[in-house]
Amino acid sequence: MGTGPGELLQVKTVSPVHGGYALARAEGVGVLFVRWALPGEEVRVRIGERKRDYAFAEAVEILSPSPHRVEPPCEVFGECGGCQLQHAGYSYQLSMKQDVLREAFRRIGRMEVVPEIAPAGAPFGYRYRGQFKTDGEAIGFFAERSRRLVPVARCPLMVDAINRALHSLRGLGGIAPVGEIHLASDGTRVAAWLPG
């Protein structure tokens, strides 16, 4: 177990796992949960948090990309803690989710029959509600596993009306106290409120 946090390794990922990670194995580490990699990719990773028989890692270089890899449409993908799979084509995202569900049913429930993953009507622009974080000046989402605010100018998952409202709110300054702001739309109009 001589590979510690911050060290670089080259690995080949083998399968998707819950949370948007790809599974790999590395000598001296054991199981690796690799963020930002897709199954079947050869990647250079930086070791992060270590546990006794597994570790988390982040792909820092894609050496052999998957044919399913795409350019994420979100400008803050990888920094924002929201989306986990925008670097994969939508049909492949569904396939990975199905694989993760199948493995969970098999391992936890000892079941071989798995319900089929139903696709959304569209991969983007389908969300009519959003809970955004604010620090009083900026609006956005928290970074993954953190309370650090990542300002968001637009979210590809939201309908256009919510993205227009986000754009308007960005210029207000002092938009709300530190906390949360909720936005909901009927596709044309947007309601905004502070919880509590």
Q: Whats the size of the chain, residue-wise?
A: 196
Q: Are 41 and 50 in contact (CB under 8 A)?
A: no
How far apart are the C-alpha atoms of 5 and 17, rounded to whole Å?
21
Q: DSSP code of 126?
A: -
Number of domains comprising the chain = 2
147: Cβ contacts below 8 Å, ≥ 6 apart: none
12 lies in some domain: yes
Quick: pLDDT tens for 111-137.
Answer: 887 788 889 889 999 999 999 998 878
Q: What six digits make up the tokens of 26?
A: 């590395």
86 lies in some domain: no
Q: Are 157 and 127 in contact (CB under 8 A)?
A: yes
We report the CATH number of the domain holding residue 23 as: 2.40.50.140
Domain endpoint, select from 64, 84, 107: 64
73 lies in some domain: no
81 lies in some domain: no
Range of 15's domain? 8-64
Q: Is the pLDDT assigned to residue 93 strictly greater than 90?
A: yes
Could you tell me the strand order of the sheet in which 21-26 lies? 8-12, 42-50, 54-64, 30-35, 21-26, 15-17
Assign 75 a pLDDT band (cuts: 50, 70, 90): very high
* Residues of the chain above pLDDT 90, percent: 69
SS3 string, 15-38, reads EEECCCEEEEEECCCEEEEEECCC
pLDDT of residue 1: 45
pLDDT of residue 99: 94
118 lies in some domain: no
Q: Is the pLDDT assigned to residue 2 strictly greater than 80?
A: no
Domain endpoint, select from 48, 64, 80: 64
Domain endpoint, select from 39, 64, 89: 64
113 lies in some domain: no
136: Cβ contacts below 8 Å, ≥ 6 apart: 174, 175, 176, 177, 178
Quick: pLDDT tens for 55-67.
Answer: 999 999 999 999 9
69 lies in some domain: no
Q: How many CA atoms, within 13 angstroms, populate the side-chain half-sphere of residue 38?
A: 22
